Amino acid sequence: MIIGNRGRYRQLNIGAEKATSEILLFLHADTIIPKEALLYIWYFLQNPKVVGGCFKKHWDWNKKQKISKFIKLLNFLWQGFGNWSVQFLKLFPGDNAIFIRKSIFEQLNGYSPMWICEDFDLSKRLRNYGKRAIKYISFPVLTSTRRFEKYGFIRTIRLWFWIYLLWRMGMTQVGLWHYYKRFLSFKN
């Protein structure tokens, strides 16, 4: 086991540094990959022009969670929009299971020292190799909906949308942190 200092970007970087494989897979603890995932990654990385990529994502709702038809529709639309944008823009969050050649990861100097949006930042820098160099694997990973269940679907999506938009507009990490803290302190 490897223990890194606090901060996801630090932990991801130390894991990558200690890895002995030429292929890195960054997988959130609450994301499950399909059993064929490693074969797909290996297959696509046989092409030396491919530098990395990610998977399609499905939200894995708790079977005991009651979901209204309206939220099911919103989930379907958000999931579809998210997968479409990841596939075509080649900007992706970590819960899409990011894979990358270790040599490319090192050339990019790993994850930037960011407490949030570090995954989008990495994929943005990865695009410098060209969008065709990034593969989108259409077999989905399953990602937990625990935040939806805890904070509400619409509220969580709104937070993610604004965090991403503010980051793209250049808001500092401190500003993003304060915005996020306000979200957590707001009572339902």
Which CATH number is 45's domain given? 3.90.550.10
pLDDT number for residue 23: 97
Q: 67: pLDDT confidence band, cut at 50, 70 and 90? A: confident
Q: With 70 as the cut, is the pLDDT of residue 186 above it?
A: no
Residue 36's domain comprises: 8-146
pLDDT number for residue 99: 97
pLDDT number for residue 187: 54
Nearest-10 crossing angle of helices 69-89, 153-168: 20
Does some domain include residue 82? yes
Q: Record the pTM.
A: 0.91
The number of domains in the chain is: 1
Q: Which residues contact 117 (CB under 8 A, 6 or more apart)?
A: 163, 164, 167, 176
Q: Residues 147-174: what's their mean pLDDT?
A: 92
- CA–CA gap between residue 145 and residue 66 (Å, rounded): 13
